[in-house]
Structure formats: C-alpha cells, structure tokens
Structure 1
C-alpha cells in the first residue's frame, strides 16, 4: 500500500555528515515542511532549507515546529536539540545524528575499564597541558596540576580586570547569594554546559558516562566543558564582573552567546569528543569522516567478533 505524502529519501540520497551544515540555529520563527525542505517563517518572510543538508537543528527561543517538519528531519537522519538563546542552554533533544553506536560503545568500554578510563582522563588533561607529559601521571597528580592551573587563571584575570578574587564560592540553590564574580562564573559555566550537552547528544555519546567526573547524569558534559573554561567562560565572567551591570546572569549569558556566535566551538567539541573516545582505544585503527553515517546492524558474538545481521545463521529452522 502506498503511503500518502512525499516519500522519505533513500540512504544513498542523503548527504554525509561532513557535507552537511553541522549546526543550524533558528529562533523566533515557525518551522514547517514544504516537500523535502523545511521552512522557517518569521516577520521577514520564509526561508527554505533542504532537510538533507542539516546535521543538527538547534531550536532557540520563540520557535514552533510542526509534526510534519519533525518527521522530515528524522527521515533525513538529522537531529533536533531544544536550546536557550544561541545554544547557551540545553533543554531536550530528539534522535542522535549518529546512526552508528561506535562512539557510544567506545565510551562505555573505556569508562568500564580502569586503564582505558585513565588513558582518556590523561588525554583530557594533556589537552590542558600541551607542553607536559601526562602519560604516567596519577589522577591525584593530574588533579593537583589542574587545580594550580585554574587558580593561576583566576589570578591572571583578576589582575587584568581589577576584580578582586578570593575563591570559587557559590550555592547552587542561591544564585544571588554569591559575589559578582561568582555569579558571573556560575552563569557562564551553565551556558557552556548547555552547549557541550547539545553536542554530546547530537553525536550519539552519553552525557552520563564521565571519565574525570562520575556519578551524575551530566558527568561527561562536565568533563568536556572543563576543556574550554579557561579560554571562554572564565575571561568572560571577569569581564562582566568588572563592568557596571546590575543584571549579571542575563548579561553573562549574552556575552557567552556572542563569544561562541561563529559556531567554531560546536565543531571543536565534535572533534575533541571523537578523538578522546576513539584515538585512546588500545588499537584505534583508522577512522574516516563517515563515522556518524555508518548504517549497519550486526550481531555480537562471544568471540568478540561482529557478525552481519539480517541473515539466518542457523543450519536448521528453530521454532520460537
């Protein structure tokens, strides 16, 4: 029986992940479907976007999306993430962009093995200390190095902006209870967590399987976000605290939004997550740019091999 409407595209018709618009952000518009394109309508008119060219659609404030548009996005192997303004907060997501579970399996295998987990954690710290050898450092040593690096970063920006700095001191349940710089840091870090969370779910990794952080549903979010705080959120927070604003939370969020406006951080997150989870495997092997697009279903075997699915592997028929 023929289904009504425009037929979904076939797999060969879809663009590979690296040929798509990686992250497309829309806000304050109505999103609908027109044949195999989605339309974004606001007071300036209608924009048509070919659904097969989208990797991840970020839906910001003021967006409304129809059921037909979501069907089209899903049929084209893209994902949708509901975010705050310019993606600085994460709210929810649809399906992952990745058809392959390779990244998720690599993450689960690494976090479940002490030596592999330590290798990933060391790689994360090595990204922060590019001139130092972390291959034999213990986690205690790495935490000490990181603590010293962050304290030095706070002192440098305190001297640069003239904002007095004592220590990181805040109550998660009482934002207004902290001083200006601690309020700005809390707001800036929350924005960064939202951006990183959106990327993690988009590429099919698990937000909860962390390597340095553990026991929380966003442990891996905190792991990845820590890679960028010294570069992005800490300097922005000190700049805001040094100003005369009386509305630190919203002004900090807008400043982070403007800092990551070009989208480079999103692509950088994708590369870093992929490198951390794949390149730290004992035998990583080559991986090409199609790692998100693999659309294969295999069967697990207790020998460790993978067997193609969609075949009857029994010599005789078996009744179930």
Structure 2
C-alpha cells in the first residue's frame, strides 16, 4: 500500500488573500499529480497548483478522484460543487484556518442584537462611503441600497447601450432570461464562489449572516453585496453588449480579469476581518493569531480553556 505524496505544510501554502480567485471546470476528469490538480477533457490535460488556488468550482460532468479532493483539503482550497452553468450551489470543502477564533467572534456578534446591528450598519457604511448610516432604520437602509442597485443598472445600461428592464433570475430555466440577466446570474455565482472561499478559508461560517438570515450562505450574500455594483453588474453589461453564444463562459473570464484587477480576494479577506473586529498588521492579508494553529482545547466553564488530550480524572475517585 502506497502512502502517496506528503501533504504540504501550512507554512508553504499561499495566504487566502494571495490566492487565485476561482477556477471553473465542467465535463472534465480531475485527478491529483503530486501537489497539483489535473483537469483532463477532450482538449488535453491542464495542471492547476492547488496551494495557490482559492476555490475550484465543479460544474456538471465533472468526476473528481479521492486524491484530488484530499489535496484540495490539505491545501486549504475550497471546492464548490455547482449545478448547470454554475447557477446552483451544492457543497463546499474544508477551511484553510485551523483556528475557530474568528468563527467564535462571528457567532458572538451575530447572537447579540445590538452587536449584530452594528455590523450590519458597518456593511451599509462600506457601500455608502461618506454617508450617515447610524440614524436610518434598517428598513430605510435596505431601501437606500435598493435604489443604489437600480441606479447602477441604469448607469451601465446607458454606458453599454444594453436595454434594461428588470432583474429576471430563473435558476430552473437559465436560457429563458435575456443576455444581461444570464450574465448577471453567472457573474454573481462567480462572485459568491470567491466570497465563499474567503469566508471558509478564514474559518468563518457561511451561514451566520448579519443582513441576510435563514440560509446556509447568508454571510456569503452579505459580503458579496459589498462588491456587486463594482464588479458583477458592470461585467454583466459588458458581456451583454457583445453578440455571444456562450454568455456564462465569457462572463466567468471577465469576472476573473476584474477580480484580479481589483485584488478582490485580498479585499474580501480584509473586509471580513474588519467586519468581525480583527485588525491585522499593515501588509498582512489574514489573521496571524491562530490561522496556522492546529490546537484543540477544552472549555473550562467560564472564559478560560485548558489543554485537550489530558486525563483530568483523579485516581481512586469513585464517581
């Protein structure tokens, strides 16, 4: 029995902020070759360095080996299983972080009404720089956000000459929507993939949202909404102005270019840390405290922890 290649040490892996945004694969067979992922289809074989990959989106027709999944997990790359044209989300892999510190802080903030409200307002403040967000109610802020998004649609419609009516999202019949709505769906899916990768890489929960709630990706939608007006909306209108047969493919390519140009995954990591109260040192892309730690502790009943892996039972004590 062969053991296979040793897992790469965490210290050799790229920081979450420095990784590739996403790679989307469909109708391919995915294997492992040493510390690289290989994708094989009718055009040949492509090698993808797992240690620098943010998220691998697996579309329909993909077959992935046990070794490839294991490498993605060891490398801290998020594997996201998606449906046709990547408009449905099914599952994801394990995080890069070995620490639960940021997750515990996220849970603390979302569980306290006043703290949750403060984080939600900060999210709106990030969308409305220079505007007052402490006085309006959440309902008023939602209305302001809706007006901002509608204005963005109109502006990019005028910029590109692409007619705009309304948002028409049909996950069960993707082709029934017009080109700009198809492009918006594909662009948002790519954005969700990148945001999801950043969230789980930091050890946070995709389901503990502050504005969105009740869904296992609520926090993904919270964070993605920070960037839609800057990223996915303009990309969708740029795609729709060209006569294209394959809107989703071109959308994903332009999204990758735009994400790289804006250093979006680095911004996403920093924004998540900012929202959850973390303040990494200048020049650092992610938490220093605990990201590489692989330590399990026991809760001591108050605010203290003790080491795990220790027998705390007293000898000759009859319980």
- TM-score, length-scaled by structure 2: 0.75
CA shift in 2, pair 1:39/1:221, >3 Å: closer
Tell me the equivalent position of 2:19: 22
On the 8 A contact 1:16/1:293 being kept in 2, the answer is no
Secondary structure in structure 1 of the residue aligned to 2:102: helix
Equivalent in the alignment of 1:278: 277
Measure how far apart 1:158 and its partner are.
1.9
Q: Please report the RMSD computed on the Cα atoms of aligned residues, expressed in angstroms.
A: 3.9
Q: Are residues 318 and 100 of structure 1, via their aligned partners in 2, closer, same or farther at CA, if it must alter by over 3 Å?
A: farther
1:154 is matched with 153
Contact 2:18-2:266 within 8 A present in 1 as well: no
Partner of 1:32: 32
Indicate if the aligned counterparts of 1:207 and 1:219 stay in contact, CA closer than 8 A. yes
In 1, Cα distance between the equivalents of 2:246 and 2:111? 44
Match of 2:92 in 1: 93
Following TM superposition, by how much is the alpha carbon of 1:308 offset from its aligned partner in structure 2, in angstroms? 2.9
Among 55, 58, 64, the alignment partner of 2:56 is 58
Q: Is the 8 A contact 1:79 1:97 kept in 2?
A: yes
In structure 1, how many angstroms separate the alpha carbons of the residues matched to 2:38 and 2:170?
40
Contact 2:97–2:292 under 8 Å retained in 1: yes
- Give the Cα–Cα distance (whole angstroms) in 1 for the partners of residues 46 and 177 of structure 2: 45
In 1, Cα distance between equivalents of 2:193 and 2:258 = 14
Task: Determine the C-alpha separation between the residues in 1 that align with 2:33 and 2:100.
Answer: 29
**Alignment of structure 1 residues 246-257 onto 2, 5 Å:** 246-257=245-256
C-alpha separation in 2, matches of 1:166 and 1:48: 40
- Work out the CA distance in 1 between the residues paired with 2:207 and 2:225: 15
CA deviations on 1:40-60 (whole Å, 9 max, x unpaired) are 4878889696x7x55756366
Per the alignment, do residues 21 and 249 of structure 1 end up closer, same or farther by CA in structure 2, a change over 3 Å counting?
Answer: closer
Q: 2:125 matched to which residue of 1?
A: 126
Aligned residue pairs total 305
Unaligned stretches of 5+ in structure 2?
A: 280-285
Provide the residue aligned with 1:283 in structure 2. none
Deviation at 1:122, TM superposition (A): 1.1
Q: CA deviation at 1:230?
A: 0.4
- How far has the Cα of 1:102 moved from its partner? 1.4
Check if 1:198 corresponds to 2:197.
yes
> What 5-or-longer segments of structure 1 have no aligned partner?
281-286
Shift of 1:251: 3.8
Quote how far apart the aligned CAs of 1:227 are: 0.8
TM-score by length of 1: 0.75
Query: Cα distance 1:171–1:306, how it changes in 2: closer, same or farther (>3 A)?
Result: same
Kindly indicate whether the alpha-carbon contact (under 8 Å) linking 1:122 and 1:137 is maintained by their aligned counterparts in 2.
no
1:264 aligns with 2:263: yes
